[in-house]
Structure 1
Amino acid sequence: MGNMIFKIADLIYRFVALNLIWLLFFLMGLGILGFMPATVALFSVIRKWLMGEQDLRLFKMFFHYYKAEFVRSNILWGIFLIIFYVIYVNFSFVSFYYAEHIHIYLYVVIFSFAAIVLMTFVNIFSVMAHFEFKTLQYIKVAAGMVFLRPLNTLMQLIWLAAYYILALTSTTLFVAIGISVFAFVLMSINYRTFIKYTDPEGE
């Protein structure tokens, strides 16, 4: 019983510590430049946990990944920001430049594309944490996972929706969970897939 309580307390400590470290490095990058490398570093540390490496110096490990991925992750961040902006512009212009009877069809196309881009963006963190590719190849692999692993995509969508609802309905619980638990669930969903396709003995 005492051992279980210790493990639970240790797990809570790890998640809280990761939340604080992520926030620190997010702010160090002035928000806009800190978000992507801090989040990739977060997923990378969580990947180490999933691999069974529990005795990590969190700050040192986090800082290592933050530095290593700062430039590359921000290049990808810039690409996604441009894509999301283009989606927003197209959505805004539909009612001004197209006949009303085709609005619904255009909105379906735009929302479908936006959903694919969003899930690709969600996958990019797990992919960057696990693989070493050329910068643009991360987008290709992350997008491929959206279509090749539909069950994973569905589970991620459910978790995103639950997390969003939690943010709207229970601020206290949302803050307590933080981004570390959010990332842990997403990384856990993709990790088995990575192992299956990279480990000959993976099942």
Structure 2
Amino acid sequence: MEFKGAMGGIYRLTEWITRLAATNLLWVLCSSPFMFCLILKLLVMNQNLANESLQMNWAMAILAPLTLFPATSAMFTVVRKWVMGDTDTGVFRTFFKGYKENYKQSLIGGIFYTLLFVIMYVDYTVYMTQLSNLQIVGVIMLILIIILLVSMFNFFSMVAHYHMSIGQIMKNAVLLTLIRPFRVFSTMLGSAVVIFIGVKYPVLFLFFIGSVVAWFAFFNFYGTFLKMQDQMEKMKQKDEEQESVEDKKSDNLQK
């Protein structure tokens, strides 16, 4: 019995690793134009080629909404199934179904996020390097960039989990980041640890880093979602009890 249990555990672990790897490979494949430019960007940075680095920045800004955002939303669609207990779902089918269904929202959201990042980064650079008397504004812009970056975890989770307009998703992603900062920033710290490990072993970016970060991010998001849902149910129940008490008082007065 112990042997069968151990074999079952090994099988489940192998299946879990295979699912993570397959999802990550699909994500890398569908966002490969962006990834290619990112790799070139890192190479030219090491060689101090300013013009080429700037060109790669523009290329990534253009390609991110078209490739990276839809691919990441599709990856979150897959990990959402796992977190919610549906571990038997097909990775390939679920990924491309999510890619197709959420492409428009991911594209529009990607355009807004990219524009905001570019504007804030340019402002941050100007205030920190050219306007030394206003560096406090640069620090504020850096804080806003971090908040915007962290809100992307909620953005992808909401695209995968909810059926709402892109405007509502982006607004709620930022609001949830501000309302529940500790859980969201724990996601960022956990992701930073995973990425740090990936930097030490770059091959992990190909097979695991993206899907592990997505799973952890949606796990935290879903925990927040359940907690907020429970609080809303308690508030609703409290309101119903209060209405019931008021109705009883009203009936007693009428008698």
Q: Which aligned runs of 4 or more in structure 1 are off by greater than 6 angstroms? A: none
Q: CA deviation at 1:186?
A: 0.8
SS in 2 for 1:34: helix
Specify the code of the residue in structure 1 equivalent to 2:143. S
The match for 1:8 is 13
- How far did residue 56 of structure 1 move? 1.0
Letter in 1 for 2:12: K
Change (3 A) 1:5 1:146: same
Indicate whether 1:58 and 2:91 are aligned. yes
Write out aligned runs for 1:82-97 (5 A): 82-95=115-128
Asked if 1:127 corresponds to 2:158, the answer is: yes
Candidates 149, 156, 175, aligned match of 1:144: 175
Say which of 35, 47, 52 aligns to 2:80. 47
Q: Structure 2-normalised TM-score?
A: 0.71
Q: Is the 8 A contact 2:73 2:98 kept in 1?
A: yes
Output aligned runs, 1:1-203, within 5 Å. 1-27=6-32, 30-31=33-34, 32=63, 33-95=66-128, 98=131, 100-103=132-135, 105-198=136-229, 200=233
Q: Tell me which amino acid in the other structure corresponds to 1:37.
A: P
Q: Which runs of 5+ in 2 are unaligned?
A: 1-5, 35-62, 235-255
> Using the alignment, how far apart are the partners of 1:76 and 1:177 within structure 2?
25
Q: 1:154 & 1:73 partners in 2: Cα distance?
A: 22
Is the 8 Å Cα contact of residues 166 and 174 (structure 1) preserved in structure 2?
Answer: no
The alpha-carbon deviation at position 76 of structure 1 amounts to 0.6
Q: Which has the larger radius of gyration?
A: 2
Contact 2:121/2:145, CA 8 A, preserved across alignment: no
In the alignment of these two chains, the number of paired residues is 197
Residues 47-93 of structure 1, C-alpha deviation per residue, up to 9 Å, x if partnerless? 11111111112211111111111111101100111001101211222
> CA separation of 1:192/1:97 partners in 2, compared to 1, >3 Å: closer, same or farther?
same
Any conservation in 1 of the 2:24–2:206 contact (CA below 8 Å)?
no
- % identity of equivalent residues: 28
Alignment-mate amino acid for residue 27 of structure 2:
W
Query: Closer, same or farther in 2 for the Cα pair 1:92/1:56, shift >3 Å?
Result: same
Distance 2:167 2:122 in 1: 24
Deviations along 1:84-106, one digit per CA (max 9) or x if unpaired, are 110121122225663x3332x12
State the 1:194 CA deviation: 1.3
Unmatched runs of 5 consecutive residues or more in structure 1: none
The CA deviation string for residues 157-202 of structure 1, in whole angstroms up to 9 with x for no partner, is: 212321332233332444443311111111111111112234649x
Q: Which amino acid aligns with 2:105?
A: R
